[in-house]
Chains A and B, each alone.
Chain A
């Protein structure tokens, strides 16, 4: 197996994603900017296409702090969702050595189960050859997922997923991220 997982956003400077967020019948679109500052230290900004800032966030070693949040977005439930989703997205705080590993019956991927808090664990599915992270989900039991993150790659750019979907199962929330071309972010 690869010595270390090829974690998403581990070797990027700045990337921008187009965001499509569906919450029940509501729809919102915008841009998510992700900047890697150093190992396990990322900054995020969510803005509208027209350039209006919705929030800034910083995640260091699994701890997320949200700031400059647009007043009507400044609700605990909303902030908690974004904090948890983005922390999981960049695998912040993920340490293989602190997790139990499992195999799959029908393929060779490795699954790491990392206890997060009481009855809840984060599951990270990794290709054993390349170390590429394919999927992350949180569940009370291995099969009772309440949020799932899927990564899609192009041209072997494993630290910069082309497509990402974040699906919540306890609320009707689906977030789709599509990488925008380089050259528009500095």
Chain B
């Protein structure tokens, strides 16, 4: 039987999903200091990243707890797939615990051991603002969304580094900054770091990436 999550869990997941989508639609915007050659490079990366239809990757997550000066490390498998007018994302944590979160269009499904929780993002007006940003991310208009984020961009040889700072107070409450590293080998994200207002951070390292390989829609079904 599906179990409905309380509101505060929904908020957390929505923010997380927003970040995920930000990650998938590579926000290769330059800041105001980005000159013409820089912008051309940005546009080139943007075009390349738009051609990514699927990703299969291992991931390692490092959570730094500033208050305790501790780290919690977990790992698993990440899947991404473009399906007609929606994006599908699956995170499967395999170590040191089992946990699955799937985002399939407007639906979020979480599986913890045998318990499955389902959440329809459109069911809550409270999160309209965040959802609007999510939709903009899905259709790519986030790339010009300077209203919600300010961007900084740096070319580092084989990598592109992107820093996003939320502009809206509702996001600022939770997130101070999002940092990304995009590999020039596959134009997919290889590192995503989310820095919270509390000083904690969550860093995701993506390895063994397979771009545009076979990722089935059935892999996003959770029972």
Give the interface of A toward B (CB within 8 A).
Answer: 14, 16, 18, 20, 23, 25-29, 31, 33, 35, 43, 45, 47-54, 56, 58, 67-68, 70-73, 180-181, 183-186
Contact = CB atoms under 8 A, between A and B. Distances in A.
B70 A14 contact: yes
Given A27-B112, A56-B67, A184-B96, 14 more contacts: A20-B113, A25-B3, A26-B6, A28-B9, A29-B99, A29-B115, A33-B65, A33-B70, A45-B68, A51-B63, A70-B8, A71-B8, A184-B73, A184-B95
A53 B71 CA distance: 13
A49 B7 contact: no
A47 to B, nearest CB: 6
Given A28-B5, A28-B6, A29-B112, A49 B97 contact: yes
Nearest to A179: B96
Interface centre among B6, B15, B196 (most CB of A within 10 A): B6
B67 A49 contact: no
Nearest to B203: A51
Contacts of B65: 33, 45, 47, 53, 56
Nearest to B76: A49
Contacts of A23: 6
Contacts, number: 112
The secondary-structure label for the interface of chain A is strand
Contacts of A180: 96-97
A31 B117 contact: no
Interface residues of B, number: 41
B202 A18 contact: no
B72 A31 contact: yes
Interface in B67-99: 67-68, 70-74, 91, 93, 95-97, 99
A19 to B, nearest CB: 10
Interface in B81-138: 91, 93, 95-97, 99, 101, 110, 112-113, 115, 117
The 10 closest A-B pairs by CB, nearest first: A72-B8, A51-B202, A29-B112, A68-B198, A51-B63, A56-B67, A27-B3, A180-B96, A49-B99, A184-B96
B11 interface: yes
B12 interface: yes
Contacts of A47: 63, 65, 72
A180 B74 CA distance: 11
B67 A70 contact: no
13 contacts: A26-B5, A27-B115, A28-B6, A47-B65, A48-B9, A49-B93, A49-B112, A51-B63, A51-B72, A51-B202, A53-B196, A56-B198, A185-B71
B5 A52 contact: no
Contacts of A53: 65, 196, 198, 200
A18 B95 CA distance: 12
A34 to B, nearest CB: 9
Given A20-B112, A43-B67, A72 B91 contact: no
